[in-house]
């Protein structure tokens, strides 16, 4: 859990070089996950083997099942076409009938059913990759043009005080 007062952030890139994921897509992915998991762990039934996840995961990571699946571009008043990533909805993770408008399981309807049977693996994707989850860190974003970072959580001060 995130202790009070916790302070967190994440680094994400903003690409405009024509190579995906484009501009705000990674930022949209990470902000949505931060909103849904501000303390770093919001448990859901195990799911996996979709999007960027190999193996099983037990976190409410709303961007991971649809990594690099963007919504139609949104052109801002400045004329720039922004690309936002499609996100999975609550009902997809919990294998319930969709409570979303239109009974969808994701923003643009790419996910047409829920996550299916609970992932049978005994280890989660983050455990099997050897990465530990830092449960006291949430994510906030700082775009870094030209980088290839997806996320890099960093601690500011001591959130346990």
Give the pair of three-digit tokens for residue 17.
């070089």
Buried-state track 122-138, b at ≥16 Cβ within 10 A, e below 16: eebbbbeeeeeeeebbb
Compute mean pLDDT per 10 residues along the chain, 161 residues long, and list them: 66 74 85 83 92 93 94 93 93 96 95 93 46 30 37 37 33
pLDDT, tens digit (0-9, with 9 covering 90-100), for 73-96: 999 999 988 989 999 999 999 999
- Report yes or no on whether pTM surpasses 0.85: no
* Torsion, CA 53, CA 14, CA 86, CA 80, rounded to 10: -160
Q: Where are the domains of the chain?
A: 8-155
């Amino acid at each position: 859990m995130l202790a009070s007062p916790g302070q967190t952030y994440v680094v994400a890139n903003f690409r405009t070089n024509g190579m995906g994921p484009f501009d705000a897509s990674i930022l949209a992915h990470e902000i949505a996950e931060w909103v849904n998991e501000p303390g770093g762990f919001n448990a859901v039934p195990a799911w996996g083997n979709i999007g960027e996840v190999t193996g099983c995961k037990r976190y409410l990571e709303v961007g991971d099942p649809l990594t690099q699946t963007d919504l139609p571009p949104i052109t801002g008043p400045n004329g720039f076409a922004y690309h936002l990533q499609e996100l999975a909805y609550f009902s997809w993770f919990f294998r319930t009938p969709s409570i979303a408008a239109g009974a969808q399981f994701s923003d643009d309807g790419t996910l047409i059913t829920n996550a299916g049977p609970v992932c049978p693996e005994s280890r989660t994707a983050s455990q099997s990759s050897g990465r530990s989850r830092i449960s006291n860190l949430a994510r906030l974003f700082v775009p870094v043009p030209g980088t290839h970072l997806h996320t890099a959580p960093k601690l500011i001060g001591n959130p346990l005080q």
